[in-house]
Amino acid sequence: MSEPIIDIRDLSKFYGKARGIEHVNLEIGVGEIFGFIGPNGAGKSTTIRILMNMIFPTSGSAKIMGMDVIKETKKIKSQVGYIPSDANAYSSMVVQEFLRYCARFYEIQDGEQRITELSELFELDLKRKIDDLSMGNRKKVSIVQSLLHNPKLLILDEPTTGLDPLMQSKFFELLRSENRKGMTIFYSSHILSEVQMLCKRVAIIKDGKIIQMEDIETLRKKQLKKVHAEFRDQVREETFSITGITSVITGPGNILSFMYSGDINELVRLLSANKMINLMIEEPSLDEIFMHYYK
Amino acid sequence: MNRNLFFKEMRRNALSLILWMIVVSLLISGTMSIYGTFLENQSKVIGMMSLIPKGALQFKGISNLNNLVSVLGFYAVNNVIYMMVLGSIFAIVLSSNILLKEEYNKTAEYLLTRPLTRSEIYFSKLAVLFLHIFLLNLVAALAGFISVEIVKTGPFSIKAFFTLCTYTLLLNILFGTIGLFLSILVKRAKPITTFCIGIVLVFYFIYTLSKITDSVSAIGYVSPFKYVNVEAFRPGYALDLWHLAYFIGISMVLTGLSYRLYQRKDIYT
């Protein structure tokens, strides 16, 4: 991989004694669409806020495009777009006035054209006061402002909150199109289906620590299988207490469902020791993979 | 300093500034308009006021009833109070909100993710703050000056008038820097407006208490109001260097400390 566009090394943040993130390491390559998933409070926003120099790390370092996020924040931000999870634009401003205000911070040649183009795409009424907008429309304003200056890197923190499915679809299409033009996307979310649809690689954060970093496909396929086995006779859960079997659920009609990570031959040997009526081994959804890692 | 941010902040606070300007100007000119009537009935009014306990007059800033007879004395007692207290409230309310508002209104995530350094944000906001305080004082001074010119019965010292205005400006700036400093100390974004107004009123109360009670006069020195010399009617009235150093020194220290703290402040929304 060439020089990573985001390079986080041993990054920790504590709020007094409370943990924000601990020893986070991340490398994101130029042109990637990278997913950053974890539940609320896992440390996603803390990581992003350090990258955007809103908060300062307790230890460790972070670089964007080879520049230190603290020392060279101005240069970095001129090339980064950011969609916050829960931010209010200046409520007394009209949408157009706010977007023009945002655009003036950058050296944009075709600012007005870009505002019109993006607003039309998201069906955003430029003449309305921000205070009068619904949550979804405010999110559209947030999306538009982040893309005005054609950033090289786009950082998104739970970007689809409030967007209807049609707009989400348009938004994802726009992200894919911008990515094809070379934009790197760092997509933080707790909605796994979104990450699955969009991202090529993903990091899972839990309790402030990165617990897994994989290609989406690898993560999906990596040994973890979802198994449903139906037996002729009743079987005891304890029979299946081998390494790799987790989340065992006993269903009606002697059905046993569980997640399995390990040698599939060993599993089949174990299962076939009992008379089976049916066996189904399938790819787990990302949600299920996610839950597996969160146990 | 960033011009885009500066002009946006100027526009954002313009309406509030205009309203303050109107209110202060009306209060000043309204009060000065009764000076003529006061002079016509001065013996009756002074006689009546002499029945009021000395402490109560001191509380109103009147140390000697005869001071009211001179137009500057009348202006100082009746009008400076508006700019001393109201101007300081304006300054502290504006300053305590100018950075903090971005946090509790959740707009900081837009501001801090622009290509700006913390220094640029800080100095743009500081410039807006100082300019607003200056403009309010300028309008108040002009309203006062015009009123004094209209109601005067004899010459008065213009130098003394503007010295008085300078004191008021310095006091307002000092409270502005106190508000700014306090807002930067706030860890979790929430407004501190009421608390800041309370600070101005408590300092004013300490100042008046020190004036009316000899036994506690020393506590007046903790209040910035103590360092404003309002006796503009006295001959040789000028800016006291030590008082000047006090206002400028504390304002600069607070501005510098606020700057240092803001550079490393964790901004939450």
Structural domain containing residue A257:
223-293
Where in the sequence is the domain holding B172, given as residue range(s)? 3-263
Per-residue pLDDT, A1 = 54
Q: What is the mean pLDDT of residues B150-177?
A: 90
A57 neighbors A12 (Cβ within 8 angstroms): yes
**Sign of the torsion formed by the C-alpha atoms of A205, A72, B115 and A185:** negative
Of the residues A198, A216, A234, the one at which a domain ends? A216
The HSE-up count of residue A64 (CA atoms within 13 Å, CB side) is 28
Domain annotation covers residue A1: no
In total, how many domains does chain A have?
A: 2
Residues A111, A165, single domain; the answer is yes
Are residues A130 and A115 part of one domain? yes
Query: Per residue, what are the HEC states of A201-257?
Result: EEEEEECCEEEEEEEHHHHHHCCEEEEEEEECCCCCHHHHCCCCEEEEEEECCCEEE
Tell me, yes or no, whether A101 and A57 share the same domain: yes
DSSP E strand boundaries for A73-174: 80-83, 153-157
Cβ atoms of B62 and B77 closer than 8 Å: yes
Could you tell me if A25 and A78 lie in one domain?
A: yes
The answer to whether residue B117 sits within a structural domain is: yes
Give residue B184's pLDDT band: very low, low, confident or very high (50, 70, 90): very high
Distance between CA atoms of A170 and A41, rounded to whole angstroms?
A: 29
DSSP conformational letter for A129:
B
Does A230 share its domain with A98? Answer: no
Do A275 and A140 have their domain in common? no
Regarding whether A160 and A42 lie in a shared domain, the answer is yes
Is A89 close to B114, i.e. CB distance below 8 A? no
Q: What angle do CA A202, A205, A209 make, to 5 degrees?
A: 130
Residues A212, A230 within the same domain:
no
- Considering only alpha carbons, which residue of chain B is nearest residue A74? B115
In angstroms, the separation between the Cα of residue B16 and the nearest Cα of chain A is 13
Q: What is the CATH number of the domain that holds A160?
A: 3.40.50.300
Q: Residues 55..74 of A with a Cβ closer than 8 Å to B: which?
A: 55-56, 73-74
CA dihedral angle for residue B34, residue B38, residue B39, residue B43, rounded to 10 degrees:
180
Provide CB contacts within 8 A for A3, sequence distance 6+.
Answer: A30, A66
pLDDT the model gives residue B140? 94
A104 with A198, same domain: the answer is yes
Contacts with A101 from chain B: Cβ below 8 Å: 4, 8
Residue partners of A173: CB distance under 8 A and separation at least 6: none
User: Which of A201, A216, A231 delimits the end of a domain?
Assistant: A216
pLDDT bracket for residue B160 (50, 70, 90): confident
pLDDT at residue number A272: 86
| Residue B118 in domain | yes
Phi and psi dihedrals of A39, rounded to 5?
Answer: -75, 175
How far is residue B236's CA from residue B111's CA, in Å, rounded to a whole number? 50
Last residue of some domain: A164, A193, A216? A216
The answer to whether position A202 is within a domain reads yes
CATH number at residue A273: 3.30.70
Greater model confidence, B126 or B191: B126
Widest CA span in chain A: 73
Same domain, A206 and A232: no
Tally of structural domains, chain B: 1
Please, which residues 98-117 of chain B have a Cβ atom closer than 8 Å to chain A? 105-110, 112-117
Res A295: pLDDT: 59
